[in-house]
A and B are shown apart, each in its own frame.
Chain A
Amino acid sequence: MPTSDLIKLMKEKAEAVQAVVVKIKTTKEAFQYTVDLTRQQKGTSVVAMGLGTQDVNLLEKACKTADLTFLKPPLRLHANKIHTALTPVDWGIAETGTLVLDSSSEDVRIATMLSETHVALLPVSKIKPDISALENEINAVLKADGSSYYAFITGASRTADIERVLAIGVHGPQELHILMMEENRE
């Protein structure tokens, strides 16, 4: 499948499960989006896991400018205070609008589980057509020595436990935003 079709399908399927999908071109845009969104939602804090030191500094600075608290790991200390969590993800799966994220780091888990809003950064080159296309990658993680915690995330947390009526935002994040980044265009 050509990349443009994959991007289209990924967007369509993710939106079908109430994720917000936005196309961006630079990480800088991602940081601005995160900050703006947080302010818009009247959140006061941002965390980021999985970014390089330089990017962390940039985001921290952007938060400071916007009067937001930038929380640093270990996140367990801030467990109840995380509004927005920004994390790059390892893969996207177009067929189901799924994000794939190695969550073996506890801080990654806390960020993506306890935040009110999860903003995921997905390079479009990492979008695979379907789950079976990732079988080797998943197996490589599961069969490696040592422990692991590996996650598929599709939309925000949800339930239909009351009257089988769909409700979004149960125990996990209440919103999922996917920033699809087209690289090498800077």
Chain B
Amino acid sequence: MIKTAQDIKSYKKQLKEALSDQFLRTALDNFNCAYRENRSAVYEGIDFEEIKKEIAAEKDAALPRLKELFEAFKIHAEAAGAKIHVAKDARQANEIVAAIAKENNVKKIIKSKSMTAEETFLNDHLEKEGYSVTETDLGEWIIQLRKEGPSHMVMPAIHLSRYQVGDLFEKVTRKKLASENIDKLVKVARKTLRPAYLEADMGISGANFAIAESGALGLVTNEGNMRLVTTLPRIHVALVGYDKLIPDLKTMLRILKVLPRNATGQAITSYVTWIKGAVACGSSTTNRKEMHIVFLDNGRLTLAEDPVFAEALRCIRCGACANVCPVYSKVGGHKYGHVYIGAIGLILTLFYHGKENDRAIVKNCINCQACKEVCPVDIDLPHLIKKTYRVVLDQDGKTPVKNVLLSKVLKNRKLFHFILRNAYLVQKPLAKNKGMIRHLPHFFEKEHGFRSLPVIAKTPFRDQWEAIHSHVVQPKYTIALFAGCAVDFIYPEQALALLKVLQKYDVQVAFPMDQTCCGLPALMAAEEETAKEVALQNLKAVTSEKYEYILTLCASCGSHLKHNYPKIFKDASLSPENLKAFTDKIIDVSSFVVNVLKASSKDFNVTGEKVAYHSPCHLCRGMQVTNEPRKLIEIAGYQYVPSKDENVCCGFGGSYSVDFPEISAEILKKKLDDVQATDARLLVSDCPGCVLQLGGGMDKRGRKIKVKHIVEILAETK
């Protein structure tokens, strides 16, 4: 049965177990890579960005009307012979289904896959009431036999190998099986389950859609079991969440364009089925199916009215947020959700299964934005996960020590910078090799030792500024540098490299001294108030009207300033126009040099050195900058060497790598392996955080591949 950790200590223990499961890791890595390839192929010719906005808008328009849509659905479905029930919570839903079974003298029940039934733990209830329940979806049947919960919303048994399934089926059939042959395993399920459909009195299904204008259910499936479950037994019960109500067929057809593509990389599933009312049924004494539809609320109707979280109800259960999640691919679904899995699971668990089950897992988001990018209904998943974390903290009435310190220190820039300056003195004795700390002192736990750490700079950039900044007589552009803490205090050389490059292009650079941490670390810890406070400090420090651009070398700062500040001030405590004047000016170095300065290869010396590139999450997804850095490498006289999965997270995630070092290390490992598979001897990125993670990892490996910020290699050939 599902055992979700309810505190961080036992969660970490579970994670450790999952990380040591070699098969799980291989299976999920393969899955993760293959999915991304299939998906992009199947979306050819479809404007994903446009269609996802349309669906999101349709879903948003439907949410405030759920009760009205329900009434319309009810009228049509009842007219066609269906019986409609309403369950306010999971327990009531289970009781309704059990009561239908009792009333109709049911003994055997057969089921097709339903996440909603998983949500209510329907099988447990029915079995307790004495009914025999058989799951028929292959994955669901497997996990039912293993007495497990699903590890994925679409592929519930994706955590298992064919050999594990083979062993299980040998026990069930008491026959020797050739497990390496998946086709044969599938036939075992076909053969074993066939009689069960015919013997069952009741079939239970879920539904993907409840169409209000006609009272029909829409179901999207592949194996054919749902069709049998809804055809052969004399009773059909469909358990449907209120969120599945949509106004019309048009909406369903639009969603149908993305659901199979996103879920399994199929243009369409083997079967799409509409069921309306009580259809003909030879096993019923009336020759009509006894058809029941149970609508489950379980918090949905309240959620639909929530100004922040209603968005989560757009979810169409494609499971893609798990498919692309670097954390999911390391730890698997049983450690990355409760019943609902993946990014959406970290959110829905709070609302459907309570804070206890969400408390630990909700912390495990690295904020790489991959889920947000892939979501076909445009849910801002990483944002909602942090919002969810805030609610969990509030409900628990606790403030972690980290949060107390974070907000105390960050709100006071001088104190924060005082601490950073003095950190240099503390670290100095530990740095043995070229400013890298390879061995952490013993009070750190050993799992933090997967990468060397850079030393805090002796003189931060801000303290060098007075001496180094210059005045450009006829500047082409006047820009402000938003350095970010990592560049300012760890990698001032990156800012120096930038100054060198920009000077040659006659760009006047200003460094507003009162700038402070962008506030992202506070937001990641769900310290919204602190994030807002430092945002205000930065907006005051960097007066946007003075500059044509606000350039940052840190992708995380950049995307936070540009896209999170508007979310932080959504309450309209700041005029949107003023804010826009600021956010519109945020730019990364590659875009600035390529698009604004229009740099050409004539401006640089040619080295021809082979350079691999890591695309920071907050640049490629956060700021949607993908081509410019790759172009810039070539313009600057280097040879860009593509490597596998350049857009996948490096595992840094700011404090994530401190909170979950073992997962961070695993994500990093794959990234470094992919880079090492090329013949590049230099790896560049455009975020100091990524440079820290990748550089530390390479150093620990003792590899000769150097890791630099892209601006540093520009300065070298300029």
Question: Footprint of B on A, CB under 8 Å?
Answer: 13, 17, 74, 76, 79-80, 95-96, 98, 104-106, 109-110, 113-114, 131-132, 135, 138-139, 141-143, 145-165, 167-173
Contacts and interface: CB of A to CB of B under 8 A. Distances in A.
Contacts of B291: 147
Interface stretch (B7-15, B275-283, B645-653, B677-685): B275-283
Interface of B: 27, 30-31, 34-35, 79-81, 136-139, 142, 155-158, 160-162, 165, 182-183, 185-187, 189-190, 193-195, 198, 211, 213-214, 216, 222-225, 227-228, 230-232, 249-250, 253, 256, 264, 267-283, 288-289, 291
B27 A172 contact: no
A110 B80 contact: no
B276 A142 contact: yes
B274 A154 contact: no
B156 A153 contact: no
Which 6 A-B pairs have CB atoms at the shortest separation, nearest pair first?
A: A172-B224, A147-B277, A157-B224, A161-B139, A152-B272, A142-B214
B162 A79 contact: no
Contact of B30 (A131, A152, A164): A164
A157 B276 contact: no
Given A105-B280, A109-B231, A142-B249, A161 B273 contact: no
B270 A172 contact: yes
Contacts of B283: 76
A142 B279 contact: no
A157 B223 contact: yes
Given A132-B253, A147-B276, A167-B182, A172 B269 contact: no
Contacts of A105: 280
Contacts of B249: 135, 138-139, 142
A151 B34 CA distance: 29
A160 B155 contact: yes
A113 B227 CA distance: 7
A154 B271 contact: yes
Contact of A143 (B142, B165, B214, B228): B214
Given A106-B280, A113-B231, A138 B270 contact: no
Contacts of A172: 223-225, 227-228, 270-271
15 contacts: A76-B282, A80-B198, A132-B253, A146-B277, A149-B231, A149-B273, A150-B216, A151-B273, A157-B222, A161-B137, A161-B138, A161-B155, A163-B162, A164-B158, A165-B182
Contact of B186 (A13, A141, A167): A167
Contact of B279 (A148, A161, A168, A170): A148
Nearest to B141: A161
Contacts of A158: 222-223, 270
A163 B281 contact: no
Given A142-B276, A143-B214, A146-B80, A96 B271 contact: no
Given A131-B256, A170-B224, A79 B156 contact: no
A142 B27 CA distance: 42
A132 B230 CA distance: 26
Nearest to A174: B190
A171 B203 CA distance: 15
A42 to B, nearest CB: 16
A170 B227 contact: no
B271 A142 contact: no
A98 B107 CA distance: 37
A104 B231 CA distance: 10
B273 A150 contact: yes
B680 to A, nearest CB: 31
Contacts of A173: 224
B270 A148 contact: no
B323 to A, nearest CB: 10
Given A143-B214, A146-B80, A153-B270, A162 B228 contact: no
Most chain B Cβ neighbours within 10 Å, of A80, A96, A98, A142: A142
A119 B309 CA distance: 48
A34 B225 CA distance: 25
Given A161-B156, A162-B165, A169-B186, A113 B228 contact: yes
Contacts of B162: 162-163, 165
Given A147-B289, A157-B224, 11 more contacts: A142-B249, A142-B276, A147-B280, A151-B274, A157-B270, A159-B139, A163-B30, A163-B182, A164-B155, A169-B186, A171-B136
B431 to A, nearest CB: 46
Contacts of A149: 230-231, 273-276, 279
B190 A147 contact: no
Contacts of B282: 74, 76, 106
A79 B269 CA distance: 25
B273 A106 contact: no
A83 B30 CA distance: 37
Contacts of A98: 268, 272
Contacts of B222: 157-160, 170
Nearest to A105: B280
B262 to A, nearest CB: 14
B136 A142 contact: no
A156 to B, nearest CB: 7
Contacts of B30: 163-164
